[in-house]
C-alpha cells in the first residue's frame, strides 16, 4: 500500500478530512489516520468557496449530500458505538478545517491528495494555518493508481504521449500498488463525536440548494451505489471493447461520477480489470486503458498546470476562434441541442437532462463545436464543467484539448469528425436519437441521421417540418471542414 507522505508517529488524536473520497472502504488517508492515532474524528466541509458559485440546483451537490448520509452510516456501523460518524460543516474549508482541528484538540489532520490548482492553493493555506497552531497535515495518494512523478520517462521527464505512458504504467504495476487499505483493522480508533457536533448531515435546503432530478434518474449514490454499478458492469466488462462506442447500448460502466467523488476505490477497479486482462479479456484490457488515461491526464495537470487556461501545445493558442454575435448564437444552439445535426443534438439533450454524456458523444460534440462551428474549446470545456455530474478538471481539460488537437497526444487537427457518419456508424438504428430528440422519432432509420436530406414524403409521414419542428443544420459540414483547415493553418506557421 503505497504512501507518498512521510511516516507519522503515533499521536493521540487526529482529524480525517474527507474531500473527493467519500467512502470508508480502502481509503488511504482514513487508514493512515486510524493506524496513527488513538482517536480519529471525521469531517466533511461543504466548501462555500465552491458552492456559492453554483446554481441553486446542482446534481453534484445532491450526489455528495446523499453519499455523505451513507458514509455517515457506514462509519457509525463500523465503529459500533453511539455518536460515531461524520462532522459535516457548511463553511469555507480553508478556514473551517484549521478552526475545527483546534477545537477538537487534534495533533494531525489527514486527507487524500487533490491536485487541482485551486485545491492545492487551498491545502497550502490550510497547511500554513495548521502549522501556526502546531498541528500537522498529512496527505496521501488515493484518487489514481500512479500520480505526479511516479511514472516518468527514462530521462526522468513526464510523458506527453499516452501510449508510451501506458506501456510504462503497465510495466510498473504490481499487486503492491493495487492492494486495498485494511481500514477495518484499526476502526476502533474512530472516535465518538463530541455532543456539540452530533448533528445529522444537512439537507439540501440547509445548504441553500433545491432538489434536482437525480432521484428520478435513478443515479445510485454512495459506496453501495458505486459497488452495485461495478457488480453490474463486471458481467459486461469482457464485451466492453465491442459495446463502448454505441450510446444506445448498455456498454459503459457508468462509474465516472463515483470515480470523481471517490465512492468507489480506483484500486479495486484497476485490480479487477488488470486481473481480467491477464486472463485474455479484450474488454477488460480496453477498460483498463480508460483508467490509465485518467492517470495520464492527472499527471499532465500536475506537471503542466497551465493547461487549465492554455493549450498544451502553445502554437495552438495562435488560432483565431470565432466569437462574433453570430458565432455566439451558434454556440447557444450547440448548448441547447439546436444544431440540426441529430446525434449532436441528442447528446446535448442527454447532458442537459441528466448531467451525463456517453464518452463517444463527448468526442463528437466537442469536435462539432471546435471544428464545425469554430468556437474556442474553452467555451465547451466550461459548459461541460457546469453540467457534467462527473466533471473532473484533469479529464475534462484533457478530453477537450484532445478534440481540439491542442493537447497532449491529441488527434491531428485535420481529423474532423463527420457528425452524420458518426451517427450512422454508432447509432445506426437511431435509437439514441429517438430517445433524446423525439421530434425525429417517426423518421425511418436511413433518414434520421440527416433529416435535411430526407425525401418530402418521409418528412410528411413523420409529421415533420424542418425549421419548425426541428432545425435545419446551422453549418454545412463540408464547408466548415474547409474553414477549419484554414483556421488551423496558423499552427504550421508557428512551428
Q: For 69-112, give the DSSP string.
A: HHHHHHHHHHHTSTTBSEEEEEE-HHHHHHHHHHHHT-SEEEEE
CA distance 413 to 416: 7
CB 372 within 8 A of CB 419: yes
Correct CATH for 314-490 of 1.10.579.10, 3.40.50.2300, 2.40.160.40, 1.20.120.140: 1.10.579.10
Which residue of the set 293, 334, 379, 402 is catalytic? 293
* CATH 3.90.226.10 matches 144-180+223-303: no
Collapsing DSSP to helix, strand or coil, 2 comes out as coil
CA distance 120 to 130: 15
Which residue of the set 3, 150, 315, 359 is catalytic? 359
Going 48 to 54 to 56 to 61, the CA torsion angle's sign is negative
- Residue ranges, comma separated, of all CATH 3.40.50.620 domains in the chain are 1-142
Which residue of the set 169, 287, 334, 377 is catalytic? 377
- H helix intervals, 218-358: 222-234, 240-243, 256-261, 266-278, 282-303, 325-335, 342-354
Tens-digit pLDDT string for the chain (495 aa): 544 444 455 779 999 999 999 999 999 999 999 999 999 999 999 999 999 999 999 999 999 999 999 999 999 999 887 788 999 999 999 999 999 999 999 999 999 999 999 999 999 999 999 999 999 999 999 999 999 999 999 999 999 999 999 999 999 999 999 999 999 999 999 999 988 888 889 999 999 999 999 999 999 999 999 999 999 999 999 999 999 999 999 999 999 999 999 999 999 999 999 999 999 999 999 999 999 999 999 999 999 999 999 999 999 999 999 888 999 999 999 999 999 999 999 999 999 999 999 999 999 999 999 999 999 999 999 999 999 999 999 999 999 999 999 988 767 778 899 999 999 999 999 999 999 999 999 999 999 999 999 999 999 999 999 999 999 999 999 999 999 999 999 887 655
> What is the per-residue pLDDT across 395-415, written as a single tens digit (0 to 9) for each?
999 999 999 999 887 677 788
Which residue of the set 334, 379, 400, 402 is catalytic? 400
Catalytic status, residue 17: no
- Residue ranges, comma separated, of all CATH 1.25.40.80 domains in the chain are 144-180+223-303
Going 212 to 213 to 215 to 218, the CA torsion angle's sign is negative
Q: How many Cα atoms occupy the beta-carbon half-sphere of 138 within 13 Å? A: 27
Per-residue pLDDT, 197: 87
Catalytic status, residue 400: yes
Question: Which of 44, 47, 53 minimizes the C-alpha distance to 17?
Answer: 44
- Phi, psi (degrees; rounded to nearest 5) at 442: -90, 0
- Residue ranges, comma separated, of all CATH 1.10.579.10 domains in the chain are 314-490
CA distance 448 to 451: 6
CB 259 within 8 A of CB 293: no
Per-residue pLDDT, 196: 87
Which residue of the set 116, 315, 321, 418 is catalytic? 321
Grid coordinates of 200? 445529522
Catalytic status, residue 359: yes
Catalytic status, residue 290: yes
Collapsing DSSP to helix, strand or coil, 136 comes out as strand
Which residue of the set 116, 150, 290, 483 is catalytic? 290
> What is the per-residue pLDDT across 89-125, written as a single tens digit (0 to 9) for each?
999 999 999 999 999 999 999 999 999 999 999 999 9
Query: What CATH fold (topology level) applies to the domain 1-142?
Result: Rossmann fold (3.40.50)
Catalytic status, residue 452: no
Per-residue pLDDT, 4: 44
Grid coordinates of 492? 504550421
What contacts 189, CB < 8 A, 6 or more positions away?
A: 33, 34, 35, 37, 38, 39, 40
Amino acid at each position: 500500500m503505497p504512501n507518498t507522505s512521510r511516516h507519522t508517529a503515533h499521536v493521540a488524536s487526529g482529524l480525517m478530512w474527507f474531500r473527493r473520497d467519500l467512502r470508508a472502504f480502502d481509503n488511504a488517508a482514513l487508514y493512515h489516520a486510524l493506524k496513527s492515532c488513538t482517536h480519529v474524528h471525521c469531517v466533511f466541509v461543504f466548501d462555500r468557496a465552491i458552492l456559492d458559485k453554483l446554481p441553486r440546483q446542482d446534481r453534484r451537490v445532491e450526489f455528495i449530500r446523499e453519499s455523505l448520509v451513507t458514509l455517515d452510516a457506514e462509519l457509525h456501523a463500523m465503529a459500533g458505538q453511539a455518536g460515531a460518524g461524520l462532522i459535516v460543516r457548511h463553511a469555507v474549508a480553508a478556514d473551517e478545517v484549521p478552526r475545527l482541528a483546534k477545537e477538537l484538540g487534534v495533533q494531525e489532520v489527514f486527507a487524500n491528495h487533490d491536485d487541482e490548482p485551486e485545491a492545492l492553493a487551498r491545502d497550502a493555506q490550510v497547511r500554513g494555518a495548521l502549522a501556526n497552531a502546531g498541528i500537522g497535515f498529512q496527505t496521501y495518494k488515493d484518487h489514481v493508481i500512479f500520480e505526479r512523478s511516479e511514472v516518468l520517462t527514462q530521462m526522468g521527464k513526464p510523458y506527453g504521449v499516452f501510449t508510451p505512458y501506458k506501456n510504462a504504467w503497465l510495466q510498473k504495476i504490481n499487486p503492491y500498488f493495487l492492494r486495498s487499505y485494511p481500514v477495518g483493522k484499526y476502526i476502533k480508533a474512530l472516535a465518538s463525536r463530541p455532543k456539540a457536533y452530533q448533528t445529522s448531515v444537512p439537507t439540501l435546503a440547509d445548504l441553500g440548494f433545491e432538489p434536482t432530478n437525480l432521484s428520478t434518474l435513478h443515479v445510485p449514490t454512495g459506496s453501495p451505489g458505486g459497488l452495485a454499478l461495478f457488480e453490474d458492469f463486471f458481467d459486461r466488462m469482457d464485451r466492453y471493447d465491442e459495446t463502448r462506442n454505441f450510446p444506445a447500448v448498455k456498454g459503459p460502466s457508468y462509474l465516472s461520477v463515483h470515480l470523481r467523488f471517490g465512492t468507489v476505490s480506483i484500486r479495486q477497479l484497476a485490480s479487477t480489470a488488470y486481473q481480467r486482462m491477464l486472463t485474455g479479456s479484450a474488454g477488460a484490457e480496453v477498460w483498463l486503458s480508460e483508467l490509465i488515461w485518467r492517470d495520464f491526464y492527472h499527471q499532465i495537470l500536475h506537471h503542466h498546470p497551465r493547461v487549465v487556461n492554455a493549450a498544451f501545445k502553445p502554437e495552438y493558442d495562435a488560432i483565431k476562434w470565432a466569437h462574433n454575435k453570430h458565432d455566439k448564437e451558434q454556440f447557444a444552439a450547440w448548448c441547447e441541442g439546436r444544431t440540426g445535426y441529430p446525434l449532436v443534438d441528442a447528446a446535448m439533450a442527454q447532458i442537459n437532462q441528466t448531467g451525463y454524456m456517453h464518452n463517444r458523444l463527448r468526442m463528437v460534440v466537442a469536435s462539432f463545436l471546435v471544428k464545425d462551428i469554430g468556437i474556442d474549446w474553452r467555451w465547451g470545456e466550461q459548459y461541460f464543467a457546469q453540467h457534467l455530474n462527473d466533471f473532473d478538471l484533469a479529464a475534462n481539460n484533457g478530453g477537450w484539448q484532445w478534440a481540439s488537437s491542442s493537447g497532449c497526444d491529441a488527434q491531428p487537427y485535420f481529423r474532423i469528425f463527420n457528425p452524420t457518419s458518426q451517427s450512422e456508424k454508432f447509432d445506426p438504428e437511431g435509437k439514441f436519437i429517438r430517445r433524446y430528440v423525439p421530434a425525429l422519432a417517426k423518421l425511418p432509420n436511413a433518414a434520421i441521421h440527416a433529416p435535411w436530406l430526407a425525401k418530402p414524403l418521409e418528412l410528411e409521414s413523420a409529421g415533420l417540418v424542418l425549421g419548425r419542428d426541428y432545425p435545419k443544420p446551422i453549418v454545412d459540414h463540408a464547408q466548415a471542414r474547409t474553414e477549419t483547415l484554414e483556421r488551423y493553418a496558423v499552427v504550421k506557421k508557428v512551428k
